[in-house]
Amino acid sequence: MRRGAPMGGAAKPASQEAALRRLIAVPRATLALARIAGTLALALTLALTLALTLALTLALTLALTLALALALALALALALASAPAVAQTRVVSVTGPSGNPLRDGTPRFTLSASGFPPEELPVELRLEVALSGNFTSPLWADTTVTGTSATIVIPRLLPPQASVWWRVVARNALGTLFVSNAEGPRRTLPWVSLIFPNNLNGTTVTTTRPSFIWSAVAVHPPVEPWRYTIVISRSSDGLPVVTGTLTDTVYTPFSDLESNTSYRWAISAVAGTGDSIRVVNSSSFVIASANAPIATVMFQSFPTPFPTDRLDATCIWFDLRRQSVVSLEVLDLRGNHVKRILPGRGLGGTLPPGRYGRVALGSDTGCDDRLTWDGTDDSGRFV
């Protein structure tokens, strides 16, 4: 029995060891999960550490970049502030009237200046109009304005039939002068020119109320326009027969002038500048009338000799200035009577003023059959 006790006592410790082993044993699946969780925790820790490191690096890089940009901007600003100013191109110009000769009496000029920096403002612009290309004194016009642009109408007429030049001189706030290119020479016209009737050899007009025409150089506002006074006078005694005042350059009398009378005419003109001039026509003019010729004239008969292929008779023309008693005969070389033309053929011995022998009243062509000779005598025989 005692031998069996040791065997029973030995079995007890073995069962306790087995129980202890069962108590400390962990299932393999639980252990694997624990290991995975640990790994994930470690990975997460590493990821967070890396993200924080990258974020800090980027923030530091951005801060450094911004600091560098600010430093560069500050350096550039300091460099620009300390650098010398870049030179600007200053342009001074003047635009005047076009054409040569000039048709403007008080021309308009446009002045301009550009490219002046603020420290050189304001700018004074001086318009100079001269009678010589070197702009020696005295200047014909000298006007100064302040600003970089201006329009100027000179307040006096340019001299007639003269050569003129113009330019603009700019003075900046520092006193420096800038001169534009000079324009010229330009030729000026007479202030007033008579056009019609104004022939050097005299003029014949065919109406008792002719239109008188003249021209004048243009004036521009604010200068007041021209005012004209026309005087028409008899050449024989200088007595004015028509006087008119107007602002136009064409005048037609309100009453008839006499035919076959010599006249002269003149224009007195006053511009808004106060300048004035009087112009007289070059020669006299006469009004010709179909019913009142200038003179009594007997013209050479035509054709001579005759007859011709076109005409069987010769035409006789004559003019009567006044009513006259007229006798017209054909004589031979010895002075002997051949044929009487007037009075006869429906024409009396006393004729009013007029042109005779033409095909029609007022005409200067053709032939009036009543005033022809066919080469026969009073009896109808050819001589």
**Distance from chain centroid for Cα 190:** 21
Confidence band, pLDDT 50/70/90 cuts, at residue 10: very low
Give whole-number Cα distances, 150 to 72, 97, 143, 147, 284, in Å.
46, 15, 11, 7, 48
- Residue whose pair of structure tokens reads 């017209």 in the numeric block: 328
Say yes or no: domain 91-187 is CATH 3.40.50.300: no
Strand partners, 140: none
Q: Residues 188, 217: contact at Cβ < 8 Å? A: yes
CB 193 within 8 A of CB 226: no
Residue-level pLDDT at 218: 97
Q: Is the pTM of this model over 0.75?
A: no
User: Which residue shows structure tokens 């635009």?
Assistant: 95
Task: Evaluate the CA torsion angle 94, 99, 101, 106 in order and state its sign.
Answer: negative
Q: Between 20 and 31, whose confidence is greater?
A: 31
Cis amide prior to 138 (ω within 30 degrees): yes
Two structure tokens written together for 17: 């060891």
Average pLDDT over residues 104-127: 96
Please state, in angstroms and as integers, the Cα–Cα distance from residue 249 to each residue in 192, 214, 230, 287, 339, following that order.
10, 5, 10, 21, 57
Position 337 pLDDT exceeds 70: yes
pLDDT band, residue 206 (cuts 50/70/90): confident
Q: What is the pLDDT of residues 43-57, one digit of tens each?
A: 777 767 776 777 777
**Percentage above 70 pLDDT, the chain:** 84
Tell me which DSSP letter residue 245 carries.
E
Q: Which CATH class is domain 192-287?
A: mainly beta
Q: Do domains 91-187 and 192-287 have the same CATH topology?
A: yes
Name the more confident of 382 and 7.
382
pLDDT for residue 309: 74
pLDDT of residue 85: 46
- Specify the higher pLDDT residue, 9 or 270: 270
Tell me how many helices (H) and strands (E) the chain has. Answer: 2, 28
Q: What is residue 305's predicted lDDT score, i.e. its pLDDT? A: 81
Higher-pLDDT residue of 146, 205: 146
User: Distance between CA 264 and CA 212 in Å, rounded?
Assistant: 11
Q: Which range is most confident: 18-27, 190-199, 351-360?
A: 190-199
Q: What is the pLDDT of residue 18?
A: 59
Among 3-17, 75-89, 90-104, 311-325, which is the least confidently predicted range? Answer: 3-17
Whether pLDDT at 71 is above 60: yes
Helices (H), 25-156: 28-82
Q: Domain extents for the chain?
A: 91-187, 192-287, 297-373
* Residue 2: pLDDT band with limits 50, 70, 90: very low
306-326 mean pLDDT = 86
Say how far residue 177 (Cα) sits from the centre of its chain.
30
pLDDT at 24 > cutoff 70 = no
- pLDDT score of 1 more than 50: no
pLDDT digits (tens, 9 = 90+) for 274-297: 999 999 999 999 887 767 777 888
Beta bridge partners, 196, equal 213
348 closest CA partner among 320, 374, 373, 378: 320
189 burial (CB, 10 Å; 0-12 / 13-18 / 19+) is buried
- Grade residue 9 by pLDDT with cuts at 50, 70 and 90: very low
